[in-house]
Amino acid sequence: MINKVVKDAETAIADIKDGVILMVGGFGLCGIPENSIAALLKKNIKKLTCISNNAGVDDFGLGLLLKSKQIKKMISSYVGENEEFERQLLAGELEVELIPQGTLAERIRAGGAGIPAFYTPAGYGTEVAEGKEVREFEGKMYLMEQWLRADFSIVKAWKGDTSGNLIYKGTARNFNPMMAAAGKITIAEVEELVPAGELDPNNIHTPGIYVTRIFEGKNYEKRIEQRTITAN
Amino acid sequence: MALDKFGIAKRIAQEVKDGFYVNLGIGIPTLVANYIPSTINVVLQSENGLLGIGPFPHEQDVDPDLINAGKQTITMLPGSALFNSAESFGMIRSGKIHLTILGAMEVSENGDIANWKVPGKMVKGMGGAMDLVASAKNIIVAMQHKSKAGESKLLKQCSLPITGLHCVKKIVTDLAVLDVLPGGGFKLLERAPGVSVEEIKDSTEGKLIIDSDTIPEMTL
């Protein structure tokens, strides 16, 4: 088997340069590659275009890279919960492209599946449709949307093996599998890295072919945005 | 008496039928889950990748890897399924979700909805709203009938940027239950307890259709 293991986040991101297009997995703060974000922060890589459903919060997730002004452009579906984001946007320091969430997910999926474009009804008749081809199928109107691909995709999984196969947990799966497939180079960080052969092939979510490098992350904080509880 | 948000959620819960797969938006729609009778079987979808949303967890069961689309910690019910975001919107787009309940800032008499952007204010994004309204078979909107400034939010035409065209089928407000007719117009079905037809007329800018002498009060 091809061994894809690198020792840590710093090694995994060593060839990421200023100005690249990055896909970063996660929904809110759930399923984000915490170790890799910390390494990008430490290395101070700048002028990043980040494709990620959200932009983190002020002091965690991609919010850390926003605060240090390493992000030039965000491509997301929802960017609330972040005051620094708002400040930079209003000051003209940050570009943002907002995309309907299902369209974002499918554009990334298309990128990983080798499909340059597809039609979706989301956004027809809205400002999202501006400049896009519109076509009618069976009496309903659709917009043409194009694939998204990245120089680097950074994803987070629960378990992974030395061949790069990944298993996600709970709703931390979200955008990670499509992003893993849509990166020219894909970096996977996992909570538990095991030798090839230990994961049941029936249960693999992301086949190792999509993963270029894998490492076991440490000290996962897994911050919760809205801790909602049922009283005991 | 106009309904509070709990009253609106309670009334909407009556529209949820046995066997439905339902997507609940953030805000009042999330509250609807609390009023779905235990006598019917309903599966709630969270667009971040779960079918079978359960109640909020007990303190000792909180799992940061298990959240709903509002980023709240949740649990899974027996029979739940997990999947990725592309698959999640696939089931939305292909019409497998029977009912979508979401909030709105404005609805027009031909069923257009505006709920994602206010010009001049910080734009946070549409999230999954545009995908949901473009594809759902049945959309019920939970909203206040009027703005805080007293302006009607049930309009001839939306003034805010549109989220989707011709998609809203039913509206439950603090004052009334109304159907949006396929040919246009808000058909008044029910009044909130103690709210008069006159008050609903005065609060509705778009075409209001009243085809009965007696509009019943909601039963909550």
Q: What is the DSSP string of chain B?
A: ----HHHHHHHHHTT--TT-EEEE-SSHHHHHGGGS-TTS--EEEETTTEEEE-PPPPGGG--TT-B-TTSBB--EEEEEEE--HHHHHHHHHTT---EEEEE-SEEETTS-EE-S--TTSPP---TTHHHHHHH-S-EEEE--SB-TTS-BSEESS--SPPSBSS---EEE-SSEEEEE-TTS-EEEEEE-TT--HHHHHHH--S-EE--SS-PPBP--
Per-residue pLDDT of B2-59, as tens digits, reads 999 999 999 999 999 999 999 999 889 999 999 999 999 999 999 999 999 999 999 9
Among B44, B67, B102, the strongest candidate for a mutation testing the A interface, having the largest count of A CBs within 10 A, is: B67
Q: Tell me the whole-structure pTM to 2 decimals.
A: 0.97
Please give the residue of chain B at the shortest CA–CA distance from A176: B84
B-proximal residues of A, 184-213, CB under 8 Å:
205
Per-residue pLDDT of A201-222, as tens digits, reads 999 999 999 999 999 999 999 9
Instruction: Supply the pLDDT for residue B102.
Output: 96
**Would the CB atoms of B64 and A30 count as touching at under 8 Å?**
yes
Residue numbers of B annotated as active site? 47
**Would the CB atoms of A171 and B50 count as touching at under 8 Å?**
yes
| Amino acid making up residue B82 | L
Q: What is the pLDDT of chain A when averaged over all its residues?
A: 96
Q: What is the pLDDT of chain B when averaged over all its residues?
A: 96
Instruction: Supply the pLDDT for residue A83.
Output: 86
Instruction: Supply the pLDDT for residue B175.
Output: 98
Instruction: Supply the pLDDT for residue A95.
Output: 95
Residues of chain A with pLDDT under 70: none
Residue A95 contacts B where some CB pair is shorter than 8 Å: no
Residue B48 contacts A where some CB pair is shorter than 8 Å: yes
Contact residues, chain A, for B165 at CB < 8 Å: 124-125
C-alpha distance from A17 to closest chain B C-alpha (Å): 29
Of B41, B37, B44, B48, nearest in space to B13 by CA: B37
Exposure of A171 by Cβ count < 10 A (0-12 exposed, 13-18 middle, 19+ buried)? buried
Residues of chain B with pLDDT under 70: none
ipTM: 0.97
| Amino acid making up residue A105 | A
